[in-house]
């Protein structure tokens, strides 16, 4: 009998089978279901996305571990696609990081990324970030690795040092994080393909994540050119969320201005499309069968 892969095992399998692995942001269970149906092999829960979408807060480290876990559980209950989770700075010291990793595994996450900003963090593409010392980041990674209850659970060390200290210092941090047991490196807010190449060379071809987020410091490179320059993972953290927001705002404005939704109906997912993604009719048929069974008694 073949043992079923854990969530971490499914993430590693997807990483092996996709060069590079595209990881798409999903802010809730339904968007995760759509991403899975389309065929994406890995999905993502952004810390900024949790703050923005679930709590109406900016991405400034204001949400708790339990806030993020709630969204993790909702997503992993709805899909099998392996989920990468943003755990920011780990919500505290070594014990907090240790607990966070254990709780993420229990909640069904496949992977996490942990960063080297100070606790009062900022969005990675904003100015005036502050980072902890290299040794403190190494200690964070060690705490995360020591917490693993699943050997396949995937831990990515994110460094924001590129903006603060330059390429060489950021690569040095990446090397130290890998030596501490990280499975991959998240090079945040870099500017060029040559930067990715330098990171990849510096970490000797270890797994490298490129964060291709809109309206940030990094151009919207294609997955092929990223792979050619050493990236094994490409992250699109909030692309769908931004599109959803723009579409919703447009509908709200038309309802107010026009008094109806006729002008925007073509931009909406239909009722039947929604039902299809939700497998609504399977549930309804089960309900019909139960009612019929009750009437025949």
Q: Which residues are catalytic?
A: 44, 59, 86, 88, 113, 115, 123, 158, 188, 211
Q: Is residue 216 annotated as involved in ligand binding?
A: no
Q: Is residue 123 annotated as involved in ligand binding?
A: yes
Q: Is residue 77 annotated as involved in ligand binding?
A: no
Q: Is residue 25 annotated as involved in ligand binding?
A: no
**CB count, 10 Å around CB of 44?**
27
Do 200 and 231 form a contact (C-beta atoms < 8 A)? yes
Q: Is residue 185 annotated as involved in ligand binding?
A: no
Name 97's Cβ contacts closer than 8 Å, sequence gap at least 6.
87, 90, 91, 114, 140, 143, 144, 147
Q: Is residue 211 annotated as involved in ligand binding?
A: yes
Do 140 and 181 form a contact (C-beta atoms < 8 A)? no
Q: To the nearest 10°, the Cα dihedral for 33, 35, 39, 43?
A: -100
Name 207's Cβ contacts closer than 8 Å, sequence gap at least 6.
15, 156, 183, 184, 185, 232, 233
Q: Is residue 90 annotated as involved in ligand binding?
A: no
Q: Is residue 12 annotated as involved in ligand binding?
A: no
Q: Is residue 86 annotated as involved in ligand binding?
A: yes
Residue list, annotated binding site for substrate: 46-48, 123-124, 158, 188, 211-213, 242, 271
Binding residue ranges for Mg(2+): 86, 88
Binding residues: 46-48, 86, 88, 123-124, 158, 188, 211-213, 242, 271
């Amino acid at each position: 009998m073949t043992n079923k892969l854990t969530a971490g095992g499914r993430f590693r399998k997807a990483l092996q089978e996709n060069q590079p692995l595209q990881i798409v942001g999903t802010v809730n269970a339904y968007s995760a279901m759509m991403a899975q149906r389309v065929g994406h092999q890995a999905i993502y829960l952004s810390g900024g996305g949790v703050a923005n979408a679930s709590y109406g807060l900016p991405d400034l480290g204001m949400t708790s571990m339990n806030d993020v876990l709630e969204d993790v559980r909702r997503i992993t209950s709805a899909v099998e696609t392996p989920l990468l989770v943003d755990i920011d700075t780990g919500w505290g010291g070594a014990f907090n990081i240790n607990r966070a990793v254990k709780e993420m595994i229990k909640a069904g996450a496949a992977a996490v990324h942990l960063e080297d900003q100070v606790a009062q963090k900022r969005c990675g593409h904003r100015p005036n970030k502050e980072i902890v010392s290299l040794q403190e980041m190494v200690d964070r990674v060690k705490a995360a690795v020591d917490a693993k209850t699943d050997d396949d659970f995937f831990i990515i060390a994110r460094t924001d040092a590129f903006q603060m200290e330059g390429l060489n210092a950021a690569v040095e941090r990446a090397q130290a994080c890998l030596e501490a047991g990280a499975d991959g490196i998240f090079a945040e807010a870099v500017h060029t393909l040559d930067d990715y190449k330098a990171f990849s060379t510096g970490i000797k071809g270890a797994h490298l994540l490129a964060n291709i987020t809109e309206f940030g410091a990094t151009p919207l490179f294609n997955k092929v050119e990223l792979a050619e320059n050493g990236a094994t993972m490409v992250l699109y953290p909030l692309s769908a969320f931004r599109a959803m927001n723009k579409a919703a705002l447009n509908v709200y404005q038309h309802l107010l201005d026009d008094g109806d939704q006729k002008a925007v109906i073509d931009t909406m997912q239909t009722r039947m499309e929604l039902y299809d993604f939700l497998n609504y009719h399977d549930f309804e048929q089960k309900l019909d069968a139960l009612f019929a069974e009750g009437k025949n008694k």
